[in-house]
Amino acid sequence: QSVYNRVEDIRRIGTASLDLTWVAAGRMDGFFEIGLKPWDVAAGALIVREAGGVVMDFEGTDAVEDAGTVIAAPFKIMTPLRQLIEPKWRQRKQKSD
């Protein structure tokens, strides 16, 4: 609930790679997804990185190799985006463990 109150809009385009290319192009500020496979994000992650953005998981590791949970954004907003999403994600993860 707190995330919805602090953002302009939340969109789901359909595929992770397309969502990631929209982050790279500046059409979306950030991307967050759970349950992805490496092939879901490999191409889009490369494009985000080539555009100067960051793609990782919440542990700060390479989200392409591990996939699973992926967060992507321009470098300047990665920290605020993580601070917004991570507490709810960790809370959800604890419930499922």
Q: pLDDT tens for residues 30-40?
A: 998 888 888 99
**What is the per-residue pLDDT for 43?**
94
Instruction: Give me the residues paired with residue 74 across strands.
Output: 53
For domain 2-96, the CATH architecture is: 3-Layer(aba) Sandwich (3.40)
**What is the per-residue pLDDT for 50?**
97
- Which residue has better confidence, 95 or 69? 69
DSSP 10: -
* Strand ranges, E, within the chain: 31-36, 53-56, 68-74
**What is the per-residue pLDDT for 46?**
95
Contacts of 46 (CB under 8 A, 6+ apart): none
**Domain segments of the chain: what residues?**
2-96
**% of residues, the chain, pLDDT over 70:** 82
